[in-house]
């Protein structure tokens, strides 16, 4: 389930967006000012941010710039009453991916959001919590810091993320990742998993890849 953060000080707009997005199957959190929004955005993992332009304590523009200091990949869409090209350009220069002018229809916003998620798939970007894989570039980042993996570690991580939410048995992994279709010691997978977890260097409470005892592994955004 994709997670969206709304940072908007008008409660009516927040409720309107939250209800509509949840009906479409998104998980939604929100903040009513820029400072609280930045705190949420940096402490949790979201798939997309919706930012109001003018807010108390910190503007959407300032929030966007600060967020981009530590996260360059999460899509950001501005919700703005501003109507000049200059301000739109300013928002995009600060690191936003798109903007939509108020008043807007929910359907238009939804299509904008879907476009960003579609382009994520087309560009072969895979995500699991703070982990981002660029399949084409063969690059892995954790919280925007690049991690060097061997080819087998990369393929193992990619396989688990592609099958996110499903238990992958050791036999399935041996057959699909190692391409071995005869009896083989599946314990080798555990060795690679240990190495992979060390390199990803996730905190104790960031258990995005869980061991299913006696069966295999499952990758999940829910920890």
Residues 6+ apart with CB under 8 A from 183: none
Residue 120 is predicted with a pLDDT of 62
CA 56, CA 86: separation in Å to the nearest integer?
Answer: 22
β-pairing, 48-52 vs 76-80, is: parallel
Partnered with residue 27 across adjacent β-strands are 3
Domain boundaries, the chain: 3-122, 125-219
Roughly what angle, to the nearest 10 degrees, separates helices 34-43 and 60-68? 20
**More confidently predicted of 207 and 148:** 148
- Measured from the Cβ of residue 89, the count of other Cβ atoms closer than 10 Å reads 11
What are the pLDDT digits (tens) for 102-146?
A: 888 999 899 889 888 876 655 578 999 999 998 878 899 998 899
Q: Domain 3-122 belongs to what architecture? A: 3-Layer(aba) Sandwich (3.40)
Q: Which residue bears the tokens 């940096």?
A: 42
Q: What is the pTM of this model?
A: 0.57
The Cα diameter of the chain in Å comes to: 66
Say if residues 38 and 60 touch (Cβ distance below 8 Å): no
CATH class, range 125-219: mainly alpha
Residue-averaged pLDDT of the chain = 87
CA 171, CA 154: separation in Å to the nearest integer?
Answer: 18
Confidence of residue 222 (pLDDT cuts 50, 70, 90): confident
Token pair for 54? 């003018």
């Amino acid at each position: 389930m994709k997670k969206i953060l709304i940072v908007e000080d008008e409660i009516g707009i927040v409720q309107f967006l939250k209800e509509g997005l949840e009906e479409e199957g998104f998980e939604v959190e929100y903040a009513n000012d820029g400072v609280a929004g930045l705190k949420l955005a940096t402490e949790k993992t979201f798939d997309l941010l919706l930012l109001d332009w003018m807010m108390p304590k910190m503007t959407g523009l300032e929030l966007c710039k600060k967020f981009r200091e530590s996260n360059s990949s999460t899509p950001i869409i501005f919700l703005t009453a501003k109507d000049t090209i200059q301000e739109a350009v300013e928002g995009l220069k600060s690191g936003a991916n798109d903007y939509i002018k108020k008043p807007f229809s929910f359907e238009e916003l939804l299509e904008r959001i879907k476009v960003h998620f579609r382009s994520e798939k087309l560009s072969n970007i895979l995500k699991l919590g703070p982990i981002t894989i660029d399949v084409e570039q063969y690059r892995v980042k954790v919280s925007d810091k690049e991690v060097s993996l061997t080819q087998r570690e990369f393929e193992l991580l990619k396989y688990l993320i592609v099958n996110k939410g499903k238990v992958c048995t050791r036999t399935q992994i041996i057959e699909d990742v190692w391409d071995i279709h005869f009896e083989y010691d599946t314990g080798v997978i555990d060795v690679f998993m240990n190495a992979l977890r060390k390199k990803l260097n996730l905190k104790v409470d960031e258990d995005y890849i869980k061991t299913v005892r006696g069966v295999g592994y499952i990758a999940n955004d829910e920890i």
